[in-house]
Structures are given as structure tokens and as C-alpha cells.
Amino acid sequence: MTPTGKLKLIDRVSAINWNRLQDDKDLEVWDRLVGNFWLPEKVPVSNDIPSWNTLTPEEKTLTMRVFTGLTLLDTIQGTVGAVSLIPDAITPHEEAVYTNIAFMESVHAKSYSSIFSTLCSTQDIDEAFRWSEENENLQRKAEIVMKYYKGDSPLQRKVASTLLESFLFYSGFYLPMYWSSRAKLTNTADLIRLIIRDEAVHGYYIGYKFQKGLEKLTPEERDDLKAYTFELLFELYDNEVQYTADLYDSVGLTEDVKKFLRYNANKALMNLGYEALFPKDETDVNPAILSALSPNADENHDFFSGSGSSYVIGKAVSTQDDDWDF
Amino acid sequence: MGDLVYFSSVSDNTHRFVQRLHLGDLGIGVHRIPLRPADGFLTVEEPYVLVVPTYGGGNEGGAVPRQVVKFLNDPHNRSLIRGVIAAGNTNFGEAYCIAGDIISAKCAVPYLYAFELLGTAEDVTRVRDGLGRFWQRQSRIPA
């Protein structure tokens, strides 16, 4: 046990040698994260001002509250969550990937501020932050996750972190996708899509490291962690449903958001190596939302369910790869 | 019946999806493309459907794993591909499962199915049933 209040640091540091990898995945993910690097300044959010002015006061309040909630989560992940994973790293390269993840979470948190400062008045922003500090369900969500980050189990920390990256953000991410599907706040949605893309790599990587950790445990210990994961997911899900109602009841979107939550809860579990929990008929996300997220996520790629008389050949895609010989 | 060829990184996500298909019961042979160049080279002898994960999209190329590119660069291997199935994550937006688009376009074979991450129970059923029907239809096409 680390004495309370004392910073937990590794006690011996070796210079990191990227030419001697113990796990190829570290370099692969590092390269991917670096290749995906972005900053909010490159997205012209100010082009959304005319669109913002078409929203009703309730819609504006909802949008600001959603973004303060997302800011809180990214702040936790940048300053506590991803940082808490560093001392647990097995390879020096894994440590380096976590520092990249932590930094990007801080970029995300700052991005919401740049959206706010572009679209809203200082007074409105302050009111939204006050709401987020007083909203019980948002605060409970933060508390639950923080409890595990401060705990003693490296693998439980990875579970909490993956659930945050791959599940807890999505009650918030729903809204910019909804606006985008109605051709509103489209530049803001472009920025959020960059965050969504990053979270996918983070959730994948932390979930992968969780599974590598599981390999070293006894079957009983693995069963315990699986039970723990599902309990934590249920606890967070129940809270998330209430938080979703707090936000979206006023605009009548709560049920639609809940489908999106369950769809993403399944993906969070899969990142941890577990099978999806919620059945298909509870995760049938509104096609407009799915298409705002990914224009390719339609039914075109299910040749099997069709009559078989016709099929889709993939559209020509230009790649920068030069390793193809044909 | 044809075969199934797949690639899976050390995360084993695609590997687990393929295992859940239990294709041996349908008489479909399963071959895995080696993880690294040092692990040898796979040469196939039967027509096959390729299952491939998409490497996380974005600014970079590299959506199709390098080992899959090497496998398909071999003209003999390439001549036997009959369809492609891709895995991915809708979080990657326009790059979702784009490895399927790239391979389908390059090899002029149908893009049969796309699924996310480990695939759901529905994905497993649809792909398993679909592959069975696909190869039955193929066997009726005169050579």
C-alpha cells in the first residue's frame, strides 16, 4: 500500500529503447496515435455561430451541459485516469503510450472550452459548469471511476479506464451527432468526431493491456475480474440512464440516447475481450445517428442477408500505401 | 466448399471471431496469415473468403495490415480470393471497415460483410450461415 497522500512513482527508470520492443502493439498504437494527432484550432468552429443562433434556449442549455459533462470526464482521464495507468505499465513503451493518451485527453478537455468560448457567453458557460458541479448523477459517475483509479488493482483500473473511454462519453457524444444529422453545428461535430476516433484507440489499447494482464492470472482470479467488470458496468449503466434522463428528457430524446449507450457498452465490453451484453433489439441505434458517426455504417455490407443476386464491390479507395504490388 | 483465410494481430480479436464461427463443422478450411514476416509465408490452394481487421483509420494509410498486403501481393494467392469480410469500429468514421473496401476494389471481389470489434452473436450467425450459402452458390457456377 502506498501511504496516503504520497505520490506513487516507479523507483527505477531505464532509458526507453524503441528498437527493443517487448510488445509490438506498443509501437503500432504509438504510431497510430501520433498519426491521428490534431489540435482544436484546426477545426473552424466559428462557422457554427449562425447555426448556434438557430437553436432554442432549451437546446442551447442542453448542449452546454453536455459539453461540461464531457469536459469533466476528459479532465479526469487526462489528469488522473491515464496517469494512474503509468506506474502499472509492464514495458517502457507502454508508459510512453499512456503519456500520449493523457496528453490527448487534455487536448480534448481544452477543445470543449474552445467550442464554448466561440459559441457562448461567459455567463452561460459559468451557469453550465455550475449545473455540472451540482448534478448528482454526473458527480457520481466521476466518483465511481475515481474510486477505482485510486484503488490498488492495476487491472481494475484498466477496466474503469476502458469503460470511461468506450462507454461513459457516449451520453454526451450523442448530441453533436444528433445536431450533425440535422445539419446543425457541423464543425463542432467534426471536432467531436476527432475525439471519438481517439477514444476508440485508447479503449482498444487499454482493453488489450487488460487482457494481457488477465493471461497471468488463475482461472478464479479471471472469473472475479469478469464479475467485477460486469458489476461496475451495471452500476455505471444505471447511473448513466439517470444522467441521460436529466439531460435529454426536456427534448424527448432519452430513449434514443439509451440505445446508443447500450450499443457503446457492448463495444466497451468487447474492448475488454468480453462478449456483447445487450441484445440487438436494445442496441438498434437510430440510423441517422449511426450515419453521422460513420457514413459507411449502413447495410450495404451485408451481402449475406440479401437475395444474393447482386453484391457490392467496394468503392475505389485511394491509399497512401506503397506496399501494394498491384 | 471453399476456405477461409484471416489475419489477426496479437490482440486476437479477429481470431476469436473466426473461432466462434466453428467453420470446421461446415467443411470450411481455416488458415491464419502469419503475424510477422519472420513467421513464414502462407500459400493457399483453394478458393477462399478473406477476413481482415481494419487498422484504426485517420490521417494515415495502413488500413490494411501489412501482412495481408504481402499475402495478396502473391499472384497465386490473389487469384483464389472470392470475397472479403472486414472488421472495424464505427468510431473511425469514414474509415470504418475501409480495409474491406480497399481489398474488394483491388481484387474485384464482393465485400460480403462488415462487423465491429469481436462481432456480436448476430454477426457470428449471419457470417456462418452466409458463408455456407455463399460456397454452395459458388459451387454451382461452372468453372
Can you tell me the mean pLDDT for B7-16? 95
Tens-digit pLDDT profile for residues B116-143: 999 999 999 999 999 999 999 888 776 6
ipTM for the complex shown:
0.92
- List the binding residues of A for Fe cation: 74, 105, 108, 165, 199, 202
Cβ distance A301 to B111 less than 8 Å, yes or no, reads yes
Contacts of A313 in chain B (CB under 8 A): 104-105, 108-111
Tell me the helix, strand and coil percentages in chain B, rounded to 5. Answer: 45, 20, 35
Distance from CA of A285 to the nearest CA of B (A): 12
Backbone angles phi, psi at B35, to 5 degrees: -65, -45
Distance from CA of A130 to the nearest CA of B (A): 30
**How many domains, in total, are found in chain B?**
1
Cβ distance B112 to A32 less than 8 Å, yes or no, reads no
Q: Which residues of chain A have pLDDT under 70?
A: 1-10, 298-300, 306-312, 315-321
Residue B139, amino acid: S
Can you read off the three cell numbers belonging to residue B68?
495481408
Contacts of A305 in chain B (CB under 8 A): 126, 130
Asked if residue B94 is part of any domain, the answer here is yes
Domain with B23, as residue range(s), is: 3-138
Asked if residue B104 is part of any domain, the answer here is yes
pLDDT reported for residue A255: 98
More confident residue, B84 or A21: B84
B114 at interface of A, judged by CB pairs closer than 8 A: yes
Can you read off the three cell numbers belonging to residue A299?
447495410
Contacts of A195 (CB under 8 A, 6+ apart): A74, A108, A111, A169, A173
**Chain B residues 26-55 within an 8 A CB cutoff of chain A:** 36, 55
Asked if residue B64 is part of any domain, the answer here is yes
Distance CA B26, CA B137 (A): 14
Closest CA to B106 of A314, A321, A320, A322: A314
How many other CB atoms are there within 10 angstroms of residue A321's CB atom?
Answer: 14
CATH number of the domain to which B37 belongs:
3.40.50.360
Asked if residue B22 is part of any domain, the answer here is yes
Residue A313, amino acid: I
Can you read off the three cell numbers belonging to residue A106?
487534455
Can you tell me the mean pLDDT for B30-37? 96
| Structure confidence at residue B61 as a pLDDT band (50, 70, 90) | confident
Can you tell me the mean pLDDT for B63-76? 95
Asked if residue B143 is part of any domain, the answer here is no
pLDDT reported for residue A7: 61
Q: Which domains does chain A have, with CATH numbers?
A: 24-294 (1.10.620.20)
B141 at interface of A, judged by CB pairs closer than 8 A: no
pLDDT reported for residue B137: 86
Contacts of B86 in chain A (CB under 8 A): 301
Contacts of B103 in chain A (CB under 8 A): 314
How many other CB atoms are there within 10 angstroms of residue B17's CB atom?
Answer: 22
Distance CA A22, CA A27 (A): 10
pLDDT reported for residue A236: 96
